[in-house]
Structure 1
Amino acid sequence: MSGGFPRPAFRYPILLVLAAMALSGCSLLRGPQQAPITEAVPVLVSPDGSTLVAGPPETTVQTEAAKPEAPPKPKRPVAPPRKPEEPPAPPVAAPTPPPAPAPLIVTRLIDRNQAHGLLDSEVQKPDGKVVGRAVDLVTDASGKPIEMVVNLQGFLGVGDRKVNFPWNVFRFTPNAKAATITLNLAPGQAPPADRSKAAAAAAGVATATRLPLLDATVERPNGGKVGRVVDVLIDGNAQPQAVVLDVSGMVSADRRTIAANWSALHFGTKDKALYPLMDLSDAAIAASPAYDAGQPIRAVSPAPPPAPAPAPAPAAPSSSTAAASTARASR
């Protein structure tokens, strides 16, 4: 330490305090100072949540640490829009052919060895002697034969007479080479005595219970004419099988005969007398095969009426309809 008074050790801090006071006093003398003007910086928020600070126009500062840019995802190929599926077309049904025309007649084949015509067939005794020829058949209202009219021969045609015999005294042999009808009279039984002309004439007249069938006109139920009976075919059991009808002039001017089944023949009453009926139309007669002595016998009958068409079955419900019905039922 040099001469003079010693300097106190604390003088340096005091000096610093005074200097600071002097500086602050200068600022007070200049008056209040305005705060510095700083430019506001807008803060932006990115879509991913990071905060962006807008800087100068040429730069944008991202406050968060820059994330590494992810590689672009490969784009999936865009499939073309699918068209709505159309329901499958229903199967096209084959056109229904027109129904076949209903048949007019049905036919039945009759063996010529099993049936023989009655008209003008020879009638013999059991010993084989011919006594006459059959000329008519008498039936009742049910169509059952009750008598046969036989023209008993005389000598050289003199003394011929028509006699009605019960049907059950005859035996029929259709395939016989000689007489096909045998008259089986009981021993000692003689033919009926001659009848008067009036009685003979009455025998050929139809009544309400009997009908001489040969030469009778067969009619339709509506009154139309079918034909005239010219013969009856009888089998070995003495059962009529068919009637032969002359249909000339019904459908054509030519002479034509057909065979009709006995079962197709019916009987009605008109003017208190029996008459034969058969429901054969003109078209059915035209479609009937002709009856010829040298051809097979095809007996016809009217065709039965067609059966009514069956009602169409109800359509089965579709799967969607069935599902909807099940859903409604479960509620």
Structure 2
Amino acid sequence: MTGGFPRPAWRLPIHPLYRICSLHSLRLLLAVAALLTLAALSGCSSLLWGTQQAPIVDATVMPVEPASAPVAASAPEPVESAANEEPGQPKKPRKPIVRPHKVEPPPPVAAPAPPPPPPPPLIVLRTIERSEARTLLDSEVQKPDGKVVGRAVDMTTDAAGKPREMVVNLQGFLGVGDRKVNFPWSAFHFTPSAKTAPITLNAAAVPATTGKSDAVQLPLIDATVERANGAKVGRVIDVLIDGNAQPQAVVLDVSGMVSPDRRTIAANWSALHFVTRDKELHPLIDLSDAQINAAPPYASDKPIRAVSPAPPAAPAVSAAPAASAPPAAAAAPAAASKAVAVSNAQAVR
């Protein structure tokens, strides 16, 4: 021992854990002391300077936008719960969410207009077989014994369209002494299918008187057929006669009417009508240029197709009077429409 307190000859050994705990305690005490010091200083500051107020700032007026219409909250989308999914299973793909769209009603569809009625036919055709009618011009005329005495060259008709006389060119010897003689129409017999002379003259028939007849007559061959307005339709070049000695049709030369080429057509005898003008008969037929153009041509080696103007369309009949009409009256329009339909079919052919 050198001086001071004597040191013991041995020291109690200090465990390292004790040293660590002492160091931590010292640090804790220093931290507590620092906190107390700060608290004391902050209290002194408030006592010295008092409570500090926030600075006053002038308020600025900001424009406020008008509130918009509230937006409707959309329905929450369904979310599949994770609890429904089994562990270890692959996740199922979510189905696409289809939001309903507002479907506008389709615009009103106008009812389709009814189809227009078919145009009325221009002409009506009637087929005449060659075995049922024979041409008059240049047909041989024979006596009952079969001897040919001449040829028919013309016929006359009255205002009602009834044949009155036939003009026969009686032949002489080698063309010498030929003369034209008018015989009453009733003196002849017609056989259209005959291979020889189709016209037979009654042996007892006498020529017609050459004196002027009370009835006005019209020589038909080479007569000009007109429309009611005076326009020319064509020239008569022949007449078709049936086995009952009744005219069935006339052959008209309509060259220059619809084309410059020579063209002939057959017109129904019933389509002709006769008027008296300047004390003479004039044959009329109401065939327009379009109807003449639609008529089939006449040919001596083909069936005869006689044309007539189509009748005017019948006015529409309301349903109420038709329902109250008696059966006989209702059947008449039906029969008329059937006849027109047949005529239309023939015109198309």
- Aligned pairs for 1:39-188 (under 5 A) are 92-186=110-204
2:275, 2:282 within 8 Å by CA — same for their partners in 1?
Answer: yes
Candidates 279, 282, 306, aligned match of 2:286: 279
Are 1:220 and 2:227 an aligned pair? yes
Q: Does 1:298 align with 2:305?
A: yes
Q: For 1:284, what is the secondary structure of its paired residue?
A: helix
Give the Cα–Cα distance (whole angstroms) in 2 for the partners of residues 307 and 207 of structure 1.
40
**1:304 Cα offset (Å):** 0.5
1:246–1:207 CA distance, 2 compared to 1 (3 A):
farther
* Equivalent position SS for 1:238: coil
Structure 1 residues 208 and 272, CA gap change in structure 2 (3 angstroms) = farther
Question: Hey, what's the Cα distance between the residues in 2 that align with 1:225 and 1:90?
Answer: 56
Equivalent residue for 2:314? 307
Secondary structure of residue in 2 paired with 1:263: helix
8 Å Cα contact 1:259-1:300 kept in structure 2 = yes
| Separation in structure 2 between the aligned mates of residue 213 and residue 157 of structure 1, nearest angstrom | 25
Answer whether contact 1:207 1:274 (CA < 8 A) is retained: no
Shift of 1:295: 1.1
**Secondary structure, in 3 states, of the residue corresponding to 1:276?**
strand
Q: CA RMSD in A?
A: 3.0
Q: Is the 8 A contact 1:115 1:174 kept in 2?
A: yes
What is the deviation of 1:94?
3.0
1:262 has 2:244 as partner: no
The structural deviation recorded for 1:207 is 9.1
**How far apart in 1 are the matches of 2:252 and 2:214?**
22
String of CA shifts for 1:154-191, please: whole Å, max 9, x gaps.
011110000000001100000100000000122xx6x5
CA distance in 2, matches of 1:175, 1:219: 32
Quick check: 1:107–1:299 contact (8 Å CA) kept in 2? yes
- Quick one: distance in 2 between partners of 1:89 and 1:168? 78
Q: Structure 1, unaligned stretches of length 5 or more?
A: 1-82, 314-331
**Is residue 208–residue 269 contact of structure 1 (8 Å, CA) maintained in 2?**
no
Measured in 1, the distance between the counterparts of 2:111 and 2:306 equals 42
Selected match of 2:236 from 220, 229, 242: 229
Tell me the number of residue pairs that the alignment of Structure 1 and Structure 2 aligns. 222
Instruction: Provide the secondary structure at the position in 1 that maps to 2:266.
Output: strand
Tell me the CA shift for residue 310 of structure 1.
4.1
> What amino acid maps onto 2:218 in structure 1?
L
Partner of 1:247: 254
How far apart are 1:100 and its partner, in Å?
A: 2.3
SS of residue in 2 equivalent to 1:138:
strand
Offset of residue 251 of structure 1: 1.2
Q: Do 1:243 and 1:259's aligned partners in 2 also have CA atoms closer than 8 Å? A: yes
The unaligned stretches of length 5 or more in structure 2 are: 1-101, 321-349
* Pairwise CA distance, 1:252: 1.0
Query: Which has a greater percent of strand?
Result: 1
Match of 1:34 in 2: none
Paired position in structure 1 for 2:84: none
Distance (Å, rounded) in 2 between the aligned partners of 1:125 and 1:233: 21
Q: Name the one with the larger helix percent.
A: 2
> Which range is displaced more, 136-145 or 99-108?
99-108
Taking structure 2 as the reference length, the TM-score comes to: 0.58
Q: Note the alpha carbon deviations across 1:28-74, whole angstroms, 9 max, x for none.
A: xxxxxxxxxxxxxxxxxxxxxxxxxxxxxxxxxxxxxxxxxxxxxxx
Contact kept? 2:154, 2:168, Cα under 8 Å? yes
For residues 268 and 208 of structure 1, the distance between their equivalents in structure 2, rounded to whole angstroms, comes to: 13
Q: Indicate the residue corresponding to 2:216 in structure 1.
A: 209
Matches of 2:301 and 2:268 in 1, distance apart? 19
Secondary structure (helix, strand or coil) at the match of 1:249 reads coil
Are the equivalent residues in 1 in contact too, given 2:184–2:207 (CA < 8 A)?
Answer: no
Q: Which amino acid aligns with 1:227?
A: G
